Amino acid sequence: MDANGNDRMINASTDSKTLRPRFGRVLVVVCGAIALLFLVSLAFTGIVALLRFGALAILAEYVIWMLYWAPCVTIAPSGVIVRNVVREHEVTWPAIERIDTKYALQLFTAGGTITAWSAPAPGRHATMRVASPELKGLPESTYAAERSIRPSDIPSSESGLAALYVRRFWEQLRDGGFLDKGVEGTGVRTHWLRGEIVTVSVLAVVALAALLLVP
């Protein structure tokens, strides 16, 4: 699918899609290359320098990965999975009451609002770069009065692309009568990403210890 949403119609019963911010992926790769070069230079400098600053470089790259690569939005037949920095939310389709993009992709449910870290809204000047084809053929729930849309709903933005997929799935299921609130087991499940939390904590302790203890 391109940034304008011009692909085949997705099928809510079989298809799934995971979206990550484009800028974030580039940033992680670039920073990873810099961290690798830094580690190599430390190795050439000497084992002491590598022991003292190596863990700090690895910690910095891992934090950048946590912030800009790991967060994502997965749209699947079972619902929407919003993975943020340290928590993950599993939202079933019947639990979604409204989809918004004012500040980022937001899923409104009876239990609260889920905001996607990986799908932020664009800047206020984004409308100046909008091509008219981007405003056509979007899900009906995208449009406000007089068929207008906000910059945050434009498919070339992170929030707009995620909302496009979510709304397409949601509208297909709604029109098929599958969003009955009485369906058993609907709701939101939230859990902490314990593996990431433990890893970053251990790296932080090791990096601090290396800075303090290695001469």
pLDDT at residue number 31: 97
Tokens representing 59 are 């910690």
The residue type at 184? E
Residues 58 and 61: their CA atoms lie apart, in Å, by 5
pLDDT at residue number 193: 97
Phi, psi of 118 (to 5 degrees): -85, -5
Phi, psi of 154 (to 5 degrees): -70, 130
DSSP 123: P
What are the domain boundaries of the chain? 17-21+72-192, 25-68+196-213
DSSP 148: -
pLDDT at residue number 206: 97
Tokens representing 50 are 């590598």
Residue at token pair 């009568």: 177
Sheet holding 188-192, edge to edge: 17-19, 72-76, 79-83, 87-92, 188-192
pLDDT at residue number 201: 97
Mean pLDDT by 10 residues, the chain (215 residues): 46 76 93 96 93 96 96 93 96 91 91 93 63 58 62 84 90 80 71 97 97 88
pLDDT at residue number 2: 44
pLDDT at residue number 187: 86
SS3 label, residue 135:
helix
- H runs (alpha helix) in the chain: 22-45, 47-68, 158-175, 194-213
Residues 62/200, Cβ–Cβ less than 8 Å: yes
